Amino acid sequence: MVIDSHYNACYWFSYRRCESAFLPIPMTTIRTVAERAGVSTATVSRVMNTPQQVSERTRSRVETAMRELNFSRNSFAASLVTRRSDCIGLIVGGLSGSFFAPLVNIVEETVSAAGSYLIVSCGKDSPADVLAAVQFLRQRQCDAIILFPGQLSDAALQDLLGIHPNVVLIHRSIAGFEERCVQVDNVTGARLAARYLIDCGHRDIGLISGPAANPESAQRLAAFAETLAAAGVVLAPELVFEGDFRLASGRQGMAELLASGRPLSAVFCLSDQMAFGALDYCRAVGIAVPERLSLLGFDDVEYAELVHPKLSTVQQPIALLARTAVEIALRLALSKPSGGPQPLLTPQLMIRDSVRRLA
Amino acid sequence: MVIDSHYNACYWFSYRRCESAFLPIPMTTIRTVAERAGVSTATVSRVMNTPQQVSERTRSRVETAMRELNFSRNSFAASLVTRRSDCIGLIVGGLSGSFFAPLVNIVEETVSAAGSYLIVSCGKDSPADVLAAVQFLRQRQCDAIILFPGQLSDAALQDLLGIHPNVVLIHRSIAGFEERCVQVDNVTGARLAARYLIDCGHRDIGLISGPAANPESAQRLAAFAETLAAAGVVLAPELVFEGDFRLASGRQGMAELLASGRPLSAVFCLSDQMAFGALDYCRAVGIAVPERLSLLGFDDVEYAELVHPKLSTVQQPIALLARTAVEIALRLALSKPSGGPQPLLTPQLMIRDSVRRLA
DNA sequence: CTGAAAGCGCTAACAG
DNA sequence: CTGTTAGCGCTTTCAG
Distances (CA, A) of A330 to A84, A112, A327, B8, B318: 12, 11, 5, 26, 34
Contact B141 A96 (CB under 8 A): no
Helices (H), A11-99: 30-37, 41-49, 56-69, 75-82
Ranges for all domains in chain B classified under CATH 3.40.50.2300: 87-184+318-333, 186-315
Model confidence, pTM? 0.82
- How close is the nearest chain B Cα to the Cα of A232, in Å? 36
- pLDDT in single tens digits along all 359 residues of chain B: 222 222 222 222 222 222 332 333 457 899 999 999 999 999 999 999 899 999 999 999 999 999 888 888 898 899 889 888 888 999 887 666 667 888 888 898 898 888 788 888 876 677 777 887 888 888 788 889 999 887 788 888 998 898 888 899 998 889 999 999 999 999 999 999 999 999 999 999 999 999 998 888 999 999 999 999 999 999 999 999 999 999 999 999 999 999 999 999 999 999 999 999 999 999 999 999 999 999 999 999 988 988 889 999 999 999 999 999 999 999 888 877 677 888 899 999 999 999 999 97
**What number of residues does chain B have?**
359
CATH architecture of B186-315: 3-Layer(aba) Sandwich (3.40)
What's the rounded Cα separation, in Å, for the pair A251 and A285?
A: 11
Contact B121 A1 (CB under 8 A): yes
Rounded Cα gap, residues A116 and A113, in angstroms: 7
Closest alpha carbon to B180 in B145, B153, B150: B145
Nearest nucleotide (C1') to alpha carbon of A61: D2
A60 Cβ contacts chain D strand, under 7 Å: no
Which runs of E-coded beta strand occur in A171-257?
181-182, 205-209, 240-242
Angstrom distance (rounded) from CA A155 to CA A175: 10
SS3 (DSSP) at B319: helix
Give the Cβ contact number of residue A271 at 10 Å: 29
B110: nearest Cα among B345, B343, B319, B350: B319
Q: 3-state SS of chain A: helix, strand, coil percent to 5?
A: 45, 15, 40
B45 CB closer than 7 A to any strand D atom: yes
| Strand D reaches within 7 A of the B292 CB | no
Instruction: Cis check for the bond before A309: say yes or no (omega within 30 of 0).
Output: yes
d(CA B135, CA A56) in angstroms, rounded, equals: 25
For domain A87-184+318-333, say whether CATH 3.40.50.970 is its number. Answer: no
| Helices B100-113 & B318-333 angle (0-180, nearest 10) | 40
Query: Which among A101, A189, A168 is positioned nearest to B102, based on CA atoms?
Result: A101
Q: Which residues pair with A297 in a beta bridge?
A: A313
Is there a contact between A307 and B302 if contact means CB atoms under 8 Å apart?
no
Give the whole-angstrom CA distance, residue A180 versus residue A182. Answer: 7
CA angle A337, A341, A345 (to 5 degrees): 125
Q: A24: which chain B residues are within 8 Å (Cβ-Cβ)?
A: 83
Hey, of A19, A111, A274, A303, which one would you mutate to test binding to chain B, going by the most B CBs within 10 A of its CB?
Answer: A19
Q: Are the beta carbons of B96 and A109 closer than 8 angstroms?
A: no
Query: How does DSSP assign B38-80, residue by residue?
Result: TS-HHHHHHHHH-GGGS-HHHHHHHHHHHHHHT----HHHHHH
Query: Smallest Cα–C1' distance to nucleotide D12: which residue has it?
Result: B42
How far is residue A89's CA from residue A144's CA, in Å, rounded to a whole number? Answer: 6
pLDDT of residue B5: 27
Question: Which of A4, A7, A8, A13 to mutate to test binding with chain B, by most B CBs within 10 Å of its CB?
Answer: A13
- B308 contacts B214 by C-beta, under 8 angstroms: no
pLDDT tens column, A218-273: 999 999 999 999 999 999 999 999 999 999 999 999 999 999 999 999 999 999 99
* A332 three-state secondary structure: helix
For B350, half-sphere exposure in the C-beta direction (CA atoms, 13 angstrom radius) is 19
| Domain boundaries B2-82, corresponding CATH code | 1.10.260.40
Q: Which of B118, B163, B307 is the closest to A307 by Cβ?
A: B307
Distances, alpha carbon A211 to alpha carbons A217, A245, A281, A330, in Å: 7, 8, 20, 32
Calculate how close chain A gets to B228, using CA atoms only, in Å: 30
Q: Tell me if B104 and A120 make a contact (CB, 8 A cut-off).
A: yes
Ranges of CATH 1.10.260.40 domains, chain B: 2-82
In whole angstroms, C7 C1' to B27 CA is: 22
Burial classification of residue A146, based on how many CB atoms lie within 10 Å of its CB (0-12 exposed, 13-18 middle, 19 or more buried): buried
Residue ranges of E strands in A78-130: 87-91, 117-121
